[in-house]
Amino acid sequence: MTTSHHSLLTTHHSPVGEIRDKLLEPLISATCAALGEMASTELVVQAVCQTKLDQPLGDIAVVLGLTSATEGSLILSFPERTAAALAGRILAGVTEELDESMIRDCMGEIANVIAGQAKALLAGSPYRFAFSLPKVVVGGSPEFRPQQGRDCLLVAFRTDLGEFALQLVLEL
């Protein structure tokens, strides 16, 4: 998918804004490519905005720490129904019934693939980064609370399997 998402992004004129834009755009492209390949689904970007991070937006969230010119996190948040539908499509060849654990593991693997795609897109640029291993957080888990109240960039996606969000939190 080579569609440009720049029309959806607010242009920032500060170095901080440039870093945000230069990291967010490849993350959007990586998310579209990863889920297009893994789940045979097309993603539509519904909205891009800056907001405060109160909690993950879905029932299942995958948190990846990122280290670049700045420290931060990438959070993928899925409603339970969307996560189950994505896992069902990705793991269609699995003979056993999908349980909660398999769905969570699949969401973690989606995050890994997105991180790998984004790293490849940013390799050799001043915005290259490293990711931590994904941590799957269910519901309003206390494990997530240290992130609360921080500024984040939010990308809302829609697919034929449901909606989900990507949140980019940077230490600025």
Q: Which long-range contacts (CB under 8 A, 24 or more apart) does 83-86 make?
A: 83/58, 83/59, 83/107, 83/164, 85/161, 85/162, 86/35, 86/39, 86/41, 86/110, 86/159, 86/161, 86/162
Chain segment 97-127, per-residue pLDDT in tens: 889 999 999 999 999 999 999 989 988 877 7
Per mean pLDDT, which range of 3-17, 59-73, 92-106, 112-126 is the poorest?
A: 3-17
Q: Which residues pair with 159 in a beta bridge?
A: 162
Residue 1 lies in a domain: no
Residue 68 lies in a domain: yes
Which pLDDT band holds residue 19 (cuts at 50, 70, 90)?
low
- Total domains, the chain: 1
Domain hosting residue 64, numbered range: 6-170
Nearest to 57 by CA among 169, 134, 133, 132: 169
CATH code (residue 24): 3.40.1550.10
